[in-house]
Structures are given as structure tokens and as C-alpha cells.
Amino acid sequence: MAQKIIVANWKMNGAFEEADQWLAKFIDLYSANQEALQKVEMVVCPPSFLVDYFDSQLLDNAFDNIEKIAQDRGKNIEDFEEEELAEIVIKQRPFWLGAQDCHFENSGSFTGDLSAEMIKKIGADYVILGHSERRENHFETDEIVAKKVAAAVAQDILPIICVGESKEVRDQKKHLEFVYKQLLFSIPRGVKFMRLVIAYEPIWSIGTGIVPNSEQIAEMMKMIHKILAEKGQDLVEEFVILYGGSVTAENAKEILAIENVGGLLVGKASLDSNDFVKICLS
Ligand code: PGA
């Protein structure tokens, strides 16, 4: 089975103090559960300025461990080749970092925005794009999302494209049609993806504590899976579909067991490293 991906979406929460506390607790839990957690692709998407901060904290942490690794291997740090050292440092990173958005242009007069090139430079290897909160509050259309996705791919950043219907759309039983169109138009044409991550997040479930039942999730997963599989190798070599919306340490296991669910996008529960780790261990 492919590695599951668990993404923490901190949204507009936390600063340095919270990041320090989160990381200290996470590192403790990680050491205690290393073997199981190394099987999970964990991605943390804090506010952008914390991507940079986490990146340097993780690097410091990795260097602290190198001495111990060298000892275990009966070597001195100086004995390692540069490449070997770089590999160890990368392996020491418990999770990947991601941003919550990026602009589609590389630079220019876009006050308040960060480009894909910029988020790559501060340490992001993933980016959440087209989250419903951005679509709603920043009027992002599928067309804009598609342009952002293309910009991210050009910087070698893995986009996590969010789709999902509102309560009204679901009540009208138009959810499949709605998500189908959203997906089709949010994926840029002519871009070849090595990997693609889609997050299905019903808007009525985000932050509400309401989780769709297993059949509802399975129905949507099946459709998304079918679209991506039909697109075939010309578009994407590998794809993963996440579920997002009121995921907790209590319901994660059940959701992950649903067919075609390849991981989770976690909002509120990811702000507590204890809950996040529990979800990753589900
Ligand atoms: P939630 O948010 O887990 O707090 O519902 C999920 C999301 O919006 O990504």
C-alpha cells in the first residue's frame, strides 16, 4: 500500500511560541513512535513565516542528531562525505513543510502575496491550493487555482488541490457534478504531474464537527479516482486523494479505511501535536 499522506493545515493560527511548543512535543512523540511515523508522509503547513522558522529549527535538530549517528556508525562527523551528510540531514527531518497558498506569478506588484518561487526558497515542498476559505474569501476561481498549480509545479512544489461542495449544492444533489467541474478546471492543462494530491473537503464539514458518512466519502472518492485514473499517464504518474473536514484523533482511523482515501487534510486537530501524531498513527 502507498504511504498515506497526513497534512496539517494550521490556517491563520500560531506564531513562534506556539511553533516551539508544537515542535518540542512533536519531537518527543516522534522519538517514541519513530518506526510507525516514518511510514507516514507528514506535511505541516503553518502560516508562511513559520515555514522558514520550522525549516531552520528542523535543520538544527538534524545537526544535533548527527553526532549521535556518527557515534553509532563508529565515525566522526568529519569522516562523512558532504553528500552523505546531506542525506542524513534530510532523513532526519520528521516531516515536510508546506505553504497554504502562493501566487501564480514569480514576482511583481502583488501586495501581500508570496510566489511559488518564494515559498520554495523558505522551505516549502508542498502547497495547499484552492482551499474553500481562499476560494470564498479571496474570490479564487478554478482558473486562478489552475494557474497557481502550474506555478507550483514549475518550482518543483507538490500542489494539494482542494475541492468540495457547499451544503446547498449537496442538498440539491449536485455535489458530484460540482466537484467534477471544479476538479477538471482547477487542474491546469498541458502540465505533466509526477504526483498530484487532491483533497476532497466538503465545505459543510470544515470546522463544523460534521463528518460525511462513509458512503458519502466513498462515493466522492470513487468519482475523483475515476477522473484521475482516466486522465492516465499523460497527465499524472501518481495521485493521492485526501479527505478533509473535521478530522479528529477519534475518527481518523475510520475515514482512512474508506476505499480510495490516501490520507487526510487536518485543520483544527493539527494545532495540537499530540492529536496530530495520534491521527498519523491511525
Ligand atoms: P478542520 O479543517 O479539520 O478544522 O475541519 C480542515 C481544513 O479546512 O483543511
The pLDDT of residue 1 is: 53
Burial class (CB in 10 A: 0-12, 13-18, 19+), 282: buried
Active site residue 201: yes
The pLDDT of residue 232 is: 66
CA-to-CA distance for 76 and 107, rounded, in angstroms? 44
Active site residue 83: no
Which residues is 196 bridged to in the sheet? 239
The pLDDT of residue 170 is: 97
CB of 10 within 8 A of CB of 46? yes
The pLDDT of residue 74 is: 85
Burial class (CB in 10 A: 0-12, 13-18, 19+), 256: middle
> Active-site residue among 133, 140, 165, 201?
201
The pLDDT of residue 79 is: 85
CA-to-CA distance for 143 and 164, rounded, in angstroms? 16
29: left (phi over 0), alpha (psi -120 to 50) or beta: alpha
| pLDDT tens-place string over residues 21-37 | 999 999 999 999 999 99
Distance between Cα 245 and ligand 1 center (Å): 5
CA-to-CA distance for 52 and 121, rounded, in angstroms? 9
CB of 104 within 8 A of CB of 112? no
Residue 275 CB–ligand 1 contact under 6 Å: no
pTM for this prediction? 0.94
If you take atom 2 of ligand 1, which residue's CA is the nearest one? Answer: 267
Residue 164 CB–ligand 1 contact under 6 Å: no
Q: Which residues does the chain have with pLDDT short of 50? A: none
Residue 267 CB–ligand 1 contact under 6 Å: yes
**Cα–Cα nearest to 101, from 151, 26, 65, 61:** 151
The pLDDT of residue 44 is: 98
